């Protein structure tokens, strides 16, 4: 099962000066959640199918060279990447050689464990005890930043009853501001923006100021999509982060990097270079509702120690979910 | 674009290249490296398997022809195979004899359809002198219509839109009729991003296709896509079919294995490459050049084309005359500088020059340095620009103040300019200047020296 939102967020209870929104009855709630998990399972099932065939075909045979090679290909196909794949498969091979693994089911179980361990890294919760908690969202063009900010605001408002300020620091993309404004309206967040082409640092400054003045719980800052290779734009992002830190020394408390699940090995370079510009504290793995496996998240966790915190599994508001390593690992190999 | 892959292949073949004969274990070792490099470049593993098998077979059975040593022969085989896989000489968008030519853009969310739509519009206007309209049929993503209205206008295209409360299929049909009435050469239809497994939206795309009967459906693919690129291309191919591919975000450092995979698996050509955020950063995709680039031979053809676009014949003649009469001044220097900058950011130009990309890749070019030089020159009087020797202490100070720089910077620029003028005089006088010293290394530019070893 996916983690609950309450497992992801650390709150101090103070946030609920704002009452929790009125909810349906418990039965209705259970039903709603049942439906949500069914949807998650369905979405993840598609992710599993391709790999299941590969892995299962492998596991009922003897553990020979071909087993390992096919296992490798299955992980490569999930975009886990050559290096992380080699490490995981070598470990399995070693354990099998030492006699601690016999037969398919055991191997599968161990594989899931190893993959989940790889995914489990660093501080994987989001601490909301600072008031306001400033969350900066960055990423390459088209990875789903604005959508993530919109949905996250909605969850913070609706699930936790927190007051949220949303800032459109994506002043570059045509209509980027309008897109976020629509989300702010949907989620009931306070919206801060300036004119297109304005300095993103200034927008962030305004947002933090509004957040402090209004006593908001969370300030969410959306930034323009940028390729990690564009030095000037990475410098601009670092500046946004610095501007925020000038107002609140520990802020941004959280810097999330959105990574598209369809991304291949370039995701590793993205994570590395974004981390050089700003202290990335977690990933949002988006678009997991397709056939892409998002294995690049494992490579990023393994090589850079950045945990995945949220996943996007669909277009609907509730399709942004907390990340759960074991479930993700199982989805990769379909236990 | 694919620099890192080219590095790896070069490393893989380094040993082979250095030797006169080729053993089976050489080939096997090289293939292992190539396999790894291609996987790291996100080439689909099935494509990799076939590719390395084919190369190995050819490499082992290869006869030694002409002057090539066996190592060079492997390089050639890899290059040929890669070129073949990428699709030979490359295709282009053909116009319908009965306008408007209708193009539908399709792809996943975030692949860059809306931007690519505007870029294609601009490209067809500029390169093919076509009148272009774009239609906003992405009614899913908030504000997508607004975005197309803005970028479409920037591209100089008419934007056909009917808000977001309409049915995309109806908007597409309406746009087709309007483009016909208004006598447009081309109509480009931007559609919603959709997942290839989303039945409903794929069905919508199929209905758009059925209704407007486009001459081409272009699949927009993000160059950073991993192994999933093949699944995406296959599903789009099955659901609606597509005629060509636009690769986007090629200005990043993605090795773009997706391009290889999509071409190899679907057989559809990659027609265009999108290489930046600006609307003019869009060009025809050249598979043959790309394959050469993968092998570290640079992208000289692209560079030459860019230079031709930015080059002004009349100016060049005038410049030559000045050089001969030794009247080359700072004004002319500034013109030259501006022409070079018109080619694009220096960083991306460096990547296209063979042999130097590896060493210079990590050199960060400070484009602002050009701005400073420009500011200094523009702060001079016309006569100072023609005769820099006039510039004394007080003039230097004035120029430094006017350009927001300092006296040292002004001094340095004038000194550099004098040195350059000296070299030019030598050239004009028919003597061969010491280019090696100027370029920081020997060797004529343009020769793929690494392969010549």
Residue A112 and residue A145 in one domain: no
Strands of the sheet with B216-222, listed across from one edge: B158-160, B132-137, B186-191, B101-107, B216-222, B244-248, B270-274, B282-284
Residue A67 and residue A180 in one domain: no
The arithmetic mean of pLDDT across residues B48-57, rounded, is 84
Q: Residue written as tokens 């523009």?
A: B378
- Please confirm whether the linkage preceding A132 is cis (ω < 30° from 0): yes
Residue B86 has, within 13 A of its CA and on its CB side, a CA count of 25
Nearest-angstrom CA–CA distance, B71 and B69: 5
Residue A147 and residue A80 in one domain: no
Contacts of B151 in chain A (CB under 8 A): 174
CATH of the domain at A102: 1.20.120.140
If 0-12 CB within 10 Å is exposed, 13-18 middle and 19+ buried, where does residue A36 land?
middle
**pLDDT tens per residue across span B126-182:** 999 999 999 999 988 878 899 999 999 999 999 999 988 889 999 999 999 999 999
Q: Give which of B93, B90, B108, B114 is closest to B263, Cα–Cα.
A: B90
Residue A58 and residue A166 in one domain: no
* Structural domains in chain A (count): 2
Give the confidence band of A135 by pLDDT, cuts at 50, 70, 90: very high
CATH superfamily of B304-452: Signal recognition particle, SRP54 subunit, M-domain (1.10.260.30)
**pLDDT tens per residue across span A13-55:** 644 444 444 343 444 444 444 444 444 445 444 544 545 555 5
CATH of the domain at A192: 3.40.50.300
Contact A141 B40 (CB under 8 A): no
Domain residue ranges of chain B, discontinuous segments joined by +: 3-86, 101-297, 304-452
Contact B224 A266 (CB under 8 A): yes
Residue A183 and residue A321 in one domain: yes
Residue A301 and residue A168 in one domain: yes
Domain assignment present for A87: yes
Q: Give which of B150, B122, B242, B133 is closest to B188, Cα–Cα.
A: B133
List all residues 6 or more positions away from B251 whose beta carbon is below 8 Å from its beta carbon: A227, A229, B1, B274, B275, B276, B281, B348
Residue A156 and residue A62 in one domain: no
Expressed as residue numbers, the domain containing A185 is: 126-328
| Domain stops at, among A119, A136, A167 | A119
Domain assignment present for A12: no
Predicted pLDDT of residue A272 = 94
- A266–chain B nearest CA distance, Å: 5
Contact A266 B253 (CB under 8 A): yes
| Domain stops at, among A77, A98, A119 | A119
CATH superfamily of B101-297: P-loop containing nucleotide triphosphate hydrolases (3.40.50.300)
**pLDDT tens per residue across span B310-339:** 656 666 677 677 766 777 788 888 887 777
Residue to substitute from B111, B226, B371, interface A, most A β-carbons within 10 A = B226
**pLDDT tens per residue across span A142-172:** 899 999 999 999 999 988 899 999 999 998 8
Write down the ipTM of this complex.
0.76
Nearest-angstrom CA–CA distance, B23 and B16: 9
| Domain stops at, among A119, A134, A166 | A119
Partners of residue B385 on adjacent β-strands = none
The arithmetic mean of pLDDT across residues A293-316, rounded, is 92
Residue A244 and residue A96 in one domain: no
Domain assignment present for A34: no
- CATH code of domain B3-86: 1.20.120.140
Residue A44 and residue A171 in one domain: no
The phi and psi torsions of B130 (rounded to 5 degrees) equal -95, 150
* CATH topology agreement for domains B3-86 and B101-297: no
Residue A115 and residue A130 in one domain: no
Q: Give which of A244, A157, A183 is closest to A209, Cα–Cα.
A: A244
Most distant pair of Cα atoms in chain A: their distance:
66
Among partner residues B147, B226, B252, which is closest to A262 by beta-carbon distance?
Answer: B226
Residue A144 and residue A115 in one domain: no
What is the percentage of chain A residues whose pLDDT exceeds 70? 83
Contact A175 B45 (CB under 8 A): no
Give the confidence band of B196 by pLDDT, cuts at 50, 70, 90: confident
Nearest-angstrom CA–CA distance, A45 and A42: 5
Domain assignment present for A276: yes
């Amino acid at each position: 099962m996916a983690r609950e939102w309450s497992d992801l967020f650390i709150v101090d209870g103070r946030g609920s000066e704002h009452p929790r929104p009125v909810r349906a009855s418990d039965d209705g709630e259970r039903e709603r959640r049942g439906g949500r998990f069914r949807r998650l399972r369905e979405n993840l099932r598609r992710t599993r199918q391709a790999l299941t065939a590969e892995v299962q075909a492998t596991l009922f045979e003897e553990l020979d060279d071909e087993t390992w090679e096919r296992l490798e290909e299955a992980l490569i196909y999930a975009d886990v990447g050559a290096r992380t794949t080699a490490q995981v498969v070598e470990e399995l091979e070693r354990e099998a050689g030492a006699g601690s693994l016999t037969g398919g089911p055991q191997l599968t179980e161990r594989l899931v464990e190893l993959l989940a361990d790889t995914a489990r890294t660093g501080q994987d919760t989001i601490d909301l005890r600072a008031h306001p908690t400033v969350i900066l969202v960055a990423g390459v063009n088209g990875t789903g930043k604005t959508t993530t900010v919109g949905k996250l605001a909605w969850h913070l408002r609706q699930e936790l009853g927190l007051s949220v300020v949303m800032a459109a620091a994506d002043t570059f993309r045509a209509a980027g501001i309008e897109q976020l404004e629509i989300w702010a309206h949907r989620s009931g967040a306070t919206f801060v923006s300036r004119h297109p082409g304005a300095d993103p640092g200034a927008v962030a400054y305004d947002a933090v100021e509004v957040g402090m003045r209004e006593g908001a719980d969370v300030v969410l800052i959306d930034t323009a999509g940028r390729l990690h290779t564009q030095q000037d734009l990475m410098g601009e992002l670092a500046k946004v982060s610095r501007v925020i830190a000038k107002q609140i020394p520990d802020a941004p408390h959280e810097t999330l990097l959105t990574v598209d699940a369809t991304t291949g090995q370039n995701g590793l370079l993205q994570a590395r270079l974004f981390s050089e510009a700003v202290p990335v504290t977690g990933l949002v793995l988006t678009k997991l509702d397709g056939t892409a496996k998002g294995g690049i998240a494992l490579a990023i966790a393994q090589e850079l120690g950045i945990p995945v915190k949220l996943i996007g599994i669909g277009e609907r508001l509730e399709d942004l979910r907390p990340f759960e390593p074991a479930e993700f690992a199982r989805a990769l190999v379909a236990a | 674009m694919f620099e890192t892959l080219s590095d790896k292949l070069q490393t893989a073949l380094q040993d082979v290249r250095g030797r006169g004969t080729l053993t089976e274990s050489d080939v096997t070792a090289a293939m292992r490296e190539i396999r790894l490099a291609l996987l790291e470049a996100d080439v689909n593993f099935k494509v990799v398997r076939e590719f390395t098998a084919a190369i190995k077979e050819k490499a082992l059975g290869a006869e030694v022809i002409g002057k090539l040593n066996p190592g060079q022969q492997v390089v050639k085989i890899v290059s040929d195979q890669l070129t073949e896989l990428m699709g030979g000489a490359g295709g282009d968008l053909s116009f319908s004899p009965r306008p408007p030519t209708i193009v539908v853009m399709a792809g996943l969310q975030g692949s860059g359809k809306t931007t690519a739509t505007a870029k294609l519009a601009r490209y067809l206007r500029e390169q093919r002198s076509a009148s272009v309209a774009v239609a906003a049929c992405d009614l899913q993503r908030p504000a997508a219509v607004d975005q197309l209205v803005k970028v479409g206008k920037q591209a100089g295209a008419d934007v056909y839109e009917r808000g977001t409360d309409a049915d995309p299929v109806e908007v597409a049909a309406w746009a087709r009729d309007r483009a016909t009435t208004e006598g447009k050469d081309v109509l480009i239809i931007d559609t919603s991003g959709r997942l290839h497994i989303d039945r409903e939206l794929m069905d919508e795309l199929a209905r758009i296709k059925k209704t407007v009967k486009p001459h081409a459906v272009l699949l927009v693919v993000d160059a950073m896509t991993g192994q999933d690129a093949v699944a995406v291309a296959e599903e789009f191919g099955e659901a609606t079919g597509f005629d060509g591919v636009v690769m986007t975000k090629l200005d990043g450092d993605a090795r773009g294995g997706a391009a290889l995979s999509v071409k190899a698996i679907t057989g559809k050509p990659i027609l265009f490459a999108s290489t930046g955020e600006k609307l003019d950063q869009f060009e025809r995709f050249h598979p043959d050049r790309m394959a050469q680039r993968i092998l570290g031979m640079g992208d000289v053809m692209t560079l030459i084309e860019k230079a031709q676009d930015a080059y002004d014949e009349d100016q060049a003649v005038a410049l030559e005359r000045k050089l001969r009469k030794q009247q080359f001044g700072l004004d002319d220097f500034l013109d030259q500088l501006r022409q070079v900058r018109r080619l694009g950011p220096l960083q991306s130009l460096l990547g296209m020059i063979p042999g130097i990309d590896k060493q210079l890749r990590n050199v960060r070019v400070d484009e602002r340095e050009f701005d400073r030089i420009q500011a200094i020159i523009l702060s001079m009087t016309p006569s100072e620009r023609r005769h820099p020797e006039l510039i004394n202490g007080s003039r230097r100070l004035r120029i430094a103040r006017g350009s927001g720089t300092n006296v040292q910077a002004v001094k340095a620029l004038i000194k550099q300019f004098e040195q350059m003028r000296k070299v030019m005089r030598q050239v004009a006088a028919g003597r061969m200047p010491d280019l090696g010293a100027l370029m920081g290394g020997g060797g004529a530019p343009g020769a793929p020296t690494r392969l010549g070893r």
